[in-house]
Structure formats: structure tokens, C-alpha cells
Amino acid sequence: MIKKIGVFTSGGDAPGMNACIRAVVRCAASHKKEVTGILHGFDGMIKGTMIKLFPNDVSNIIHRGGTIIKTARSKEFMTHVGMRKAYENLKRHHIDGLVAIGGEGTFKGCSEFSQKYDFPFIGIPGTIDNDLCGTDYTLGFDTAINTTLEAIDKIKDTAASHDRLFFVEVMGRDTGYIALWTGIASGADEILLPETKTDIPALIKLLEQRQKQGKSTIVIVAEGDEAGGALKTADEVRKKLPELDTRVTILGHIQRGGSPTCFDRIMATRLGVAAVELLISGESGKMVGMINNQLAITPLESACKARSPLDKELLRFIKMMTS
């Protein structure tokens, strides 16, 4: 029987994590269950840094970015000794099940831990990368793309004023979701993704054409683009087109922060409630997500087996919309 639930955030922070923590705590309280917040993810589990969370503790956090219980990555947790320490601390704090808010690495760690110690947990996809199977959107993605889009729109203004070429690098080491969505939504002139081959000669040709037409140019680059990211690509362009006024903007961690959108707050609430009620009902090793605006329950093995592929229709739009 689940009497006390542990909740933690792990990996990169994502807008909406606080809203999700709030939902977990308040849903648990409505079911007469206690909640313990595990500070700094797996690292806090190993060190035993945990705090009780009551409904009043999560007041006025639904609009805040980041995570009030902090996050971290832990190599020690992936060792036998680290997992044993984590298990002993969970039992010492009388925690019966876990709600893990994070991405692929978080879920793989939880899955291995659960198999080793038969410890129940439910995963909530909290990552701006939107790269997990079993959900149309991950928590934080909507906020991240809107933050990114706002920045790109402002860069377009100054690019047009000076007839400049801007390479704008966005997050996406292994997947191009943020680059694809914001590139199309901002009317970018080219989008470079990890999933597609970057044709530098073709890019040079496009830039030459736009230079002759006297137009400014915006190229959106995912940080994991196979050509090496915005800085390396811009250097290649400068060698071929030194006369172009070429600038690079790396948006970086601005994409992780900020107040979550309404969509992310509602999604966080739905997923947090679902995770608690699944644990109470005896479920484990599952991820709760959203497919076609309905709750979807996916085994962790399926959610982590492969990265969620980019929308083929949106990929088709790239050449059409940037021609």
C-alpha cells in the first residue's frame, strides 16, 4: 500500500516542473497520502536530502520556472553502491513509491533501480526536447518554443534593419524539435537539424541569392546539427562569403527558464494527478503522457526505446516555406 510518495526532478530543468510538483502534492493530500520532496534528483536520493511537502508548501509556485526541489545529474546513482544508498534512504524515510519528473536518462535510471529493488515509480516526461515516445508533447516544450520564438522575432527585426545574416542556435543536441517548430513559426530562411544532412554548398547558394536580392537572412540551427552547430557553420559561410555581415546568436539556457505557458500548466496538473493515482492503484514502471489531448499510459521500455521522430509533414514544409 502506498502511504508516502517521493517526488523528484532530474536532468535538465523544464518550465512546468513546479506546476507538476504542486499537482502531485495536492492530489496526494486529497487521497490522504504524504509527499516527500527529494532534493537534487538522484543525488539527493543518495545523500538523503529530503523534505516533507504539504499543500501550503506548493502555494504560489504554479507560475514559476525551474524547480523548487532542484535538479541534478548523478553518475553515482548508476553504480551498485549509489543505488543501494538511494534505496536505504528511501526506506529510512518510509517512502513507498516515486514520481519521477524528467527525461530519458531519468527514466532509464528509475527503470533499472525499480527492477533491482522492486520499487514502484511512475514517470512524467519533463524535458524541453520533446523527444520521448508515448506523448505528443513533453512538459516544458511549449514554453521553450514560445520563449525561443519571441527571441527569434526580435533578432529578425535587427537583422532586417542592417541587412545581416544571423545564425541562431537553439537547444537540441540529439533532436531538432525546437529548431523545426520555431524555424517554421518564425519564417526562418533555413533550418538545420540533427536528423537531416546539412548541405553547406546549397546553403551558400541560398545566401548568395538572398544577398543579391538585398535581403536579411535568418538561419535556425539546432545545437546538435551534424555540421557542427551555429559557430562552425557560420565560419564556413564566412570563408565563402566574407562580404556578408554574418552574426551568431546562441540562445542557450534562456530556453529553459521563464513562467510556463497555460498549456504547460494544465498539462503539468493533469500528469501530476495521473501519476499519483496510478501509484496508488498499484501501477509501476509507466510513463504518463498526452496523446490527442487524452492521458496516455506507456511502459517505460517503450517510451525510452527510441526517440520520438520529427513530424514528417513539418519536415516537408521546410523547403516549401523557406523557398
Q: At how many degrees (to 10) do helices 229-240 and 200-212 cross? A: 60
d(CA 268, CA 16): 6
Domains 4-140+260-305 and 144-256 fall in the same CATH topology: yes
Question: What type of residue is 43?
Answer: D
Q: How confident is the model over 25-55, as pLDDT tens digits?
A: 999 999 999 999 999 999 999 999 999 999 9
Query: Active site residue: 96, 129, 225, 264, which one?
Result: 129
Q: Mean of the pLDDT values across residues 238-262?
A: 96
Q: How confident is the model over 83-101, as pLDDT tens digits?
A: 999 999 999 999 999 999 9
The pLDDT, as a whole number, for residue 320 is 86
Give me the chain's average pLDDT, please. 95
Q: How confident is the model over 264-293, as pLDDT tens digits?
A: 999 999 999 999 999 999 999 999 999 999
304 band by pLDDT with thresholds 50, 70 and 90: confident
Domains of the chain, residue spans? 4-140+260-305, 144-256
Q: Shortest CA distance to 127 belongs to which of 91, 79, 178, 51?
A: 178
d(CA 170, CA 232): 14
User: Which CATH number, 3.40.190.10, 3.40.50.970, 3.30.2130.30, 3.40.50.450, labels domain 4-140+260-305?
Assistant: 3.40.50.450
Q: How confident is the model over 121-130, as pLDDT tens digits?
A: 999 999 999 9
Q: Is the pLDDT of residue 249 over 70?
A: yes
Q: How confident is the model over 160-209, as pLDDT tens digits?
A: 999 899 999 999 999 999 999 999 999 999 999 999 999 999 999 999 99
d(CA 245, CA 103): 39
pTM given for the model = 0.95
Helix (H, G, I), strand (E, B) or coil at 218: strand
More confidently predicted of 305 and 188 = 188
The sign one gets for the Cα dihedral 253, 257, 260, 261 is negative
If residue 9 lies in a helix (H) or strand (E), which one and from where to where? strand 4-9
The pLDDT, as a whole number, for residue 303 is 84
129 catalytic? Reply is yes
Which class is domain 144-256?
A: alpha beta
Q: How many CA atoms lie within 13 A of 266 on its CB side?
A: 9
Q: Is the pLDDT of residue 323 over 70?
A: no
